[in-house]
Every structure is written in C-alpha cells, then in structure tokens.
Amino acid sequence: MEVIQTLDLTKHYRSSAFKTNNIPALEKVSLSVEQGEIFGLLGPNGAGKTTFVKLILSIVHPTSGSATVLGYPLGQRVLKEYCGYLPENHRYPAFLTAENTLIFFGRLNGLPESTLKEKAHSLLETVGLKDWAKVKTKKFSKGMLQRLGLAQALINDPKILFLDEPTDGVDPIGRKEIRDLLLNLKTQGTTIFLNSHLLSEVEMICDRVAILNKGKVVRTGTIAELTTQKLAYVVQLSSPITNEIRERLQQTILPIEYKDTSLIVSLHDKSELNTVIDILRAGGIGIESMNQQKTSLEDYFIQIMKGENGQ
C-alpha cells in the first residue's frame, strides 16, 4: 500500500529578498512511498529535499501538482496526528530540560496530560538519553540534540516518520544506535522517509531511494538496483593465472580485467561465466569466490551527478 503518492508536485518560491516570485525548488516530482519501507531522498544541497518534506507536511503549499498521504489529500488536519517530523537544524528552548521539551511537544500534539511524563521518559530511554531527563538542553551536544529531536518526532507514535539529516553531528556509535532504532520502528510497521547526504548511512538502511537534482527526480530504485549496474563478476583465484590460461581467456573476447589473483569479468549474459570457469578449472586454477561487482551508493551518486551536470 502506498502511504505517500505525489503527482507532478511542483514548488516555486517567491522571495522579496531576491525580488523574484519564481525560485524553482521542485519540478513535477512524482514519487510513491510504500507502507513500512525506509525511503531515502538524496541530492546535493539545494536539490529540493527539504521542500519535498515541507510540502508533504503542508508547511509550504504546492505551486501545482498534487499528493496524497495515507490516502488523504495534502493539508488534511488529521495527517498531523499520523506524521512525525525531525527538521534539519532544529532548535529547542535552551531553558527546557529534555523531559520538559518532550512534555511540551506532547502537549502540542494533544496527548493526555496524565501520560506525558511517562511518555517522555520512555522515549528518552529509547533514544539513549535516560540519564539526561533533568538536564537543560543548552548543555546538550549536537548528537544529543539529534537524539532528542528523534524522541520529539516519535511523541505521537507516528505512522510516517520524516527525518531531515537525522544522523548529522552524531558520532559513529550514536549513528549505529539511531540506525537500529529506525530498523526497529520499521519492523513495527512505521514508514520512514529520510533526507540525507550521508550516503553510506542511506545505503545501510534504506529500502528504496530517489535522487533529486535541481528539483527533479533523476533516478529511483532499490539500493540493489542502483548499486548493481552491470553484469560484472569478481572472481577470486587460488593462484595467479598462467600466460597460457590468459591467452585462452582472451579468446573468449570477453572484457576481462586481470589482477594478481583475481579477475573482473564483464558479461553480456550470465551463461558466459561458465565458459570462464571451465577455462580456469581446465588449467588447474581453483576458484575461491565469485561475486557480482557492485558500486557503492556514493560512487553511483557521484556518477549520476556528474552526468546530470554535464561534467
């Protein structure tokens, strides 16, 4: 089931500072996000990622196009109950303790007064801030503020969680904890929409991603689809190949990259791999492993961006 569906969603800002009423931020974006998935929106600064989330949450309004969230058209009040949002660079009143910050947001969300304190404490425990409940947020590091932000976004037990750069400023252990927390929420059926420029994080956690550039979607797919681009295999050998085997491999006319004790074979068809294996084994070379070559999401992203920007 799709929980977010957009059709040609477009946003042009007006700006009196720049004396223009036409700053294009998003152009005809059509995306769908399935229930229970972790969806990543990637793109360079200014690509339109935050604008997309703000449109979905009705913080800004579309210039044209349409969208539904949980089947409701944008702007329906009830959606506020179903969505949680961790904005980028959020600020909480410095004089509030972590506990009181969450109680404050709980009240804004209309939670019953009797449940607020317990809810705040259980969320602080979830995000690893249990011992900081009574400490004012002005004493918090960037990473701690991100965790508190995450707790704030979860205060209404949202069906869809929107996170703008959630692991920004968080150390590697904290990042792993946040990842585990998000994966746990996913198993409970929460849909997670993530804006991030930390591509290795995205690669570890997202089911599907869309890449935005200058307001337009340039690619969408699962992580596997985007990082497994060509039919190429890395074959790890037990010993270096001899000249004789090399000559026989060259006769296959397959593009092969030769390394010391491995080969990278590019194929047109998977069956061609058998020909390579037969030649190697006939020549007495053992095969230790064979894996399809992958690019990292980061490499793929850079490649796409270079292509899009004509570099």
Query: What is the binding site for ligand ADP (CB under 6 A)?
Result: 13, 15, 23, 25, 43, 45-51
Give whichever of 15 and 141 is closer to ligand ADP, judged by the CB atom: 15
Ramachandran angles phi, psi of 234, nearest 5°? -100, 120
**Rounded to 5 degrees, what angle do the CA atoms 218, 222, 226 make?**
60
- φ/ψ (deg, to 5) at 295: -105, 155
Could you tell me the end-to-end alpha-carbon distance of the chain, in angstroms, rounded to an integer?
39
Closest separation in Å from C-beta 9 to ligand ADP: 12
Nearer to ligand ADP, 123 or 198 (CB): 198
Closest CA to 275 of 253, 308, 301: 253
Q: Tell me how far apart the 2 most distant CA atoms of the chain are, in Å.
A: 80
Could you tell me if 234 and 262 are in contact, meaning their C-beta atoms sit under 8 angstroms apart?
Answer: yes
Question: Which CB atom, from 41 or from 154, has the smaller least distance to ligand ADP?
Answer: 41
What is the nearest approach in angstroms of ligand ADP to the Cβ of residue 50? 3
Residue placing its CB nearer to ligand ADP in the complex, 42 or 79:
42
Tell me how far, at minimum, the Cβ of 146 lies from ligand ADP, in Å: 17
Q: Give the shortest CB-60-to-ligand ADP separation in angstroms.
A: 7
CB of 165 to ligand ADP, least distance (A): 9
Distance (Å, rounded) from C-alpha 184 to C-alpha 181? 5
Helix (H) or strand (E) holding 300: helix 297-308
Nearer to ligand ADP, 56 or 116 (CB): 56
Q: Which is nearer to ligand ADP, 10 or 262 (CB)?
A: 10
The 3-state DSSP class for residue 68 equals strand
Q: What is the dihedral of CA 210, 198, 204, 310, to 10 degrees?
A: 50
Minimum distance from residue 227 beta carbon to ligand ADP (Å) = 22
Nearest approach, Cβ of residue 91 and ligand ADP (Å): 17
Q: Any alpha helices (H) in the chain, and if so which ranges?
A: 49-56, 79-82, 98-108, 116-126, 142-153, 172-187, 199-205, 223-227, 243-250, 272-282, 297-308
Q: Rank residues 48 and 84 by Cβ distance to ligand ADP and give the closer one.
A: 48
